[in-house]
Amino acid sequence: MVRPKGPLVRLRRALLYVVLSAIALTTLFPFALMILTSLRTGGAIITTLDQLIPREITFQNYVDVWRDDRFDLYFRNTVLITAAAIVGNTIFDAMVAYALSRKAFRGRQLILIVILISMMIPIHVQLIPIFILMNKLKLYDTLWALILPELVQGFGIFLMKQYFDGLPRELDEAALIDGASDWQIFWRVLMPLARPALAVLAINTALSSWNAFILPLILTASPETRTLSLGLALYQTQYGIDYVHSMAAASISSLPLLALFLVFQRHIIAGLTKGAVK
């Protein structure tokens, strides 16, 4: 079908680009502001808009928060927790998904429903007992308190089950005839084939674990166990006015993930909206 290209159509398209670009600029502006402010010397007081672009730039603010405000520690902790969560979820979620996809047993449907429901329940109902439990286990204010609850996630189980369901069963049967055990089928046959799904799961886990806030807030007390999100929140509520430094701290907290996003943009968008649209 040939569409007529009159002046009205062109005007409409021009308008469309104006709206899309205006919103893109609105989205980018706070990020630009964060980076520009983090590079400023002196204060961050802005009375006229031409002051937005710093005259001279410095990385001193980054050095200050990294060294003096212990964002080096927070960074290390966040990397550790995120790495543990990625390893945990890619192995454990996949194991559970293997059982749900390949084994017929009573209660299978029930487990799927229970997982789905537990994904919808607000975490806030569980906070107080988890706090009490971690205290009893002497894990309060340790990284374990932040790692253990994150090792298995319903989202990952569903994602992996869906992927395993799509892999032909003939693969398992062939391996079974060759004398492979379940563990070998899972580990040597299905897992290597599930790499695309594992990548989506790893990226999702990285995002949620890196940005987690409520568990670190209630389960840690000392700087030695603090994460970037918590460290930044406490810094912001404590030294609110010192924006050049809090913007440097915000950059340290967000730039690694933003870089990851720019590289894996397509996969991340696909992964985060997966399952929502049939």
Is 254:35 a contact under the CB 8 Å cutoff? no
Interacting span for another protein (CB under 8 A) from 65-73, 148-156, 165-173, 189-197: 148-156
CA torsion, ordered 152, 157, 158, 163, to nearest 10 deg: 140
Closest to 254 measured CA to CA, from 28, 34, 23, 24:
34
Does 213 interact with another protein (rule: CB under 8 A)? yes
CA pair distance 199, 207, nearest whole angstrom: 12
Cα-to-chain-centroid distance, residue 167: 27
Q: Which of 23, 53, 116, 263 binds another protein (CB under 8 A)?
A: 23
CA pair distance 194, 162, nearest whole angstrom: 10
**Count of residues in contact with another protein, rule CB under 8 A:** 95
Q: Which of 129, 168, 179, 192 binds another protein (CB under 8 A)?
A: 129
Site residues for another protein, window 91-110 (CB under 8 A)?
A: 91-93, 95-96, 98-99, 103, 105
Print the binding letters for residues 229-248 with another protein: x by CB under 8 A, - otherwise. xx-xx--xx--xx-x--xx-
Instruction: State the minimum distance, in angstroms, from the CB of residue 93 to another protein.
Output: 8
Q: 61 vs 246, which CB is nearer to another protein? A: 246
Does 126 interact with another protein (rule: CB under 8 A)? yes
Helices (H), 103-194: 108-120, 127-136, 143-147, 154-165, 170-177, 182-184, 191-193
Print the binding letters for residues 45-64 with another protein: x by CB under 8 A, - otherwise. xxxxx-xx------------
DSSP 222-257: SGGG--HHHHHHHHHHHSTT-HHHHHHHHHHHHHHH
Interacting span for another protein (CB under 8 A) from 58-66, 163-171, 189-197, 266-274: 266-274
Q: Which of 171, 214, 221, 263 binds another protein (CB under 8 A)?
A: 214
